[in-house]
Structure 1
């Protein structure tokens, strides 16, 4: 019921970004479980499936931000940050966004949950060759890079 507020806020933010074109800094996690599956989230405020993550706050490191976002979105306090998968430039939504993607290992896939149902509608583990319909193109590109063991960079 409160999810409609997130949808309205999301639309307002995208309009703001188009007008102001701010420079932003974000993080995402390629969460991999022992079976090689990838965790994806579906937000309340935008269609599609995405890697979990979000914005980096002022005076916050990228590492602290991804740990905070994983706790806030999917309830994970215990993840192993294996390495930086890549750094990308995203100008799709009208902002000048730089995104750091971390490759992370999750020992206990059952520990993943919807931590904030106002923000996250669904969360799940998916085999790389069985991604859900609506998985965003950028998410698919990051997973392909991971499968090819390529370092990522460039356009989101």
Structure 2
């Protein structure tokens, strides 16, 4: 095998055989309610997305909460979990870091192509239709667990 093809195969393997890394926020308003977002093509989820190149986890959380909820992050709470099961997302293998954040502001999603609306819910009155593994992540959060899966 030529050196070029060896290098090309190695680079392509690194680019396409690694999990993508994302974040999900557990946004809490000052009154204790939890903020979720309703996707156009799906149900209710925790706000989040992939971490951009050269971006810190906290920076990604602030960006995603602002884009999907229109809210400002005032501070960070506890790490709820790191979820890495290759079967957790049917589209691709992704690793998801879930963290509590404290937020304020007016709920006005900026990413209107993806997010239909944002809404706040009392912890005992979360909506039906939580999609993906968001329900499990919220249950872990409410139980005070820190999960590495």
Same fold (TM over 0.5): yes
Paired position in structure 2 for 1:88: 83
- Give how far 1:149 is off: 1.1
Task: Tell me the CA shift for residue 100 of structure 1.
Answer: 0.5
Is the counterpart of residue 24 in structure 1 residue 11 in structure 2? no
1:70 corresponds to which of 59, 65, 72: 65
Partner of 2:43: 48
Deviation at 1:34, TM superposition (A): 2.7
Is this contact kept in 1: 2:66–2:109, CA < 8 A? no
Q: Deviations over 1:3-35 (max 9, x none)?
A: xxxxxxxxxxxxxxxxx6652000000011233
Larger Rg belongs to: 2
Using the TM superposition, give the Cα deviation of residue 90 of structure 1 relative to its aligned residue in structure 2, in angstroms: 4.2
- Structure 2, unaligned stretches of length 5 or more? 1-15
Q: Secondary structure at the match of 1:70?
A: helix
Quote the offset at 1:99 in angstroms. Answer: 0.4
What residue number does 1:134 align with?
129
Query: Which consecutive unaligned segments of at least 5 residues does structure 1 have?
Result: 1-19
* 8 Å CA contact 2:38, 2:45 repeated in 1: yes
Do structure 1's residue 34 and structure 2's residue 52 form an aligned pair?
Answer: no
Matched residue SS, 1:111: coil
> RMSD of aligned C-alpha atoms?
1.9
Give a deviation string over 1:25-76, Cα, whole Å, max 9, x none: 00000011233221110122x3111000100111111111111111211122
Q: 1:119 aligned to 2:114?
A: yes
Matched, 1:102 2:99: yes
**Count of residues paired in the alignment:** 132
Separation (CA, whole Å) in 2 of partners of 1:68 and 1:90: 25
